[in-house]
Amino acid sequence: MTTLILKPVSPAERSQWIDAFHAADPTLTIIDWDDPSVPPETVDYAFAWQPEGRRIAAMPNLRAVISPAAGLDHILRDPAFPRDMPLYRMGTQETVDQMGDYVCWAALTLVRDAWRWAEAQARQEWSPWLNQTRTAATTTVGVMGLGELGRATALRLKALGFQVCGWARSAHHIDGVDTFAGDDAFIPFLNRTDILVSLLPATSQTAGILGKKTFAHLRPQASIISVGRGSQLIAQDLVDAINSNVLRGAVLDVVPQEPLPQDSPLWTCRGVTISPHMASEASYRDRAAYAVSVIHQIEAGKQPALRYDPAKGY
* Among 230, 250, 256, 225, residue whose Cα is nearest residue 144: 225
Instruction: Give kind and range of the element (H or E) at residue 157.
Output: helix 148-159
Cβ neighbours for 300, distance < 8 A, ≥ 6 positions apart: none
100-122 burial, b for 16+ CB within 10 Å, e for fewer? Answer: bebbbebbbbbbebbbbeeeeee
What count of other Cβ atoms lies within 10 Å of the Cβ of residue 16? 14
Going through 114-193 in order, the beta strands assigned E by DSSP cover 140-144, 163-168, 178-181
What count of other Cβ atoms lies within 10 Å of the Cβ of residue 152? 20
What are the Cα distances from residue 105, in Å, to 71, 101, 254? Answer: 22, 6, 16
Q: Alpha-carbon distance 98 to 13, whole Å?
A: 21
Q: Is 287 a catalytic residue?
A: no
Residue 174 bridge partners (DSSP): 177
Q: Alpha-carbon distance 244 to 160, whole Å?
A: 30
Q: Alpha-carbon distance 183 to 169, whole Å?
A: 7
SS3 264: coil
From the list 151, 169, 277, 287, the catalytic residue is 277
Contact 141, 197 (CB under 8 A): yes
Mapping DSSP onto H, E and C, the string for 126-140 reads: CCCCCCCCCCHHHCE
Q: Is 229 a catalytic residue?
A: yes
From the list 151, 156, 229, 248, the catalytic residue is 229
Cβ neighbours for 32, distance < 8 A, ≥ 6 positions apart: 5, 6, 14, 38
Active site members? 229, 277
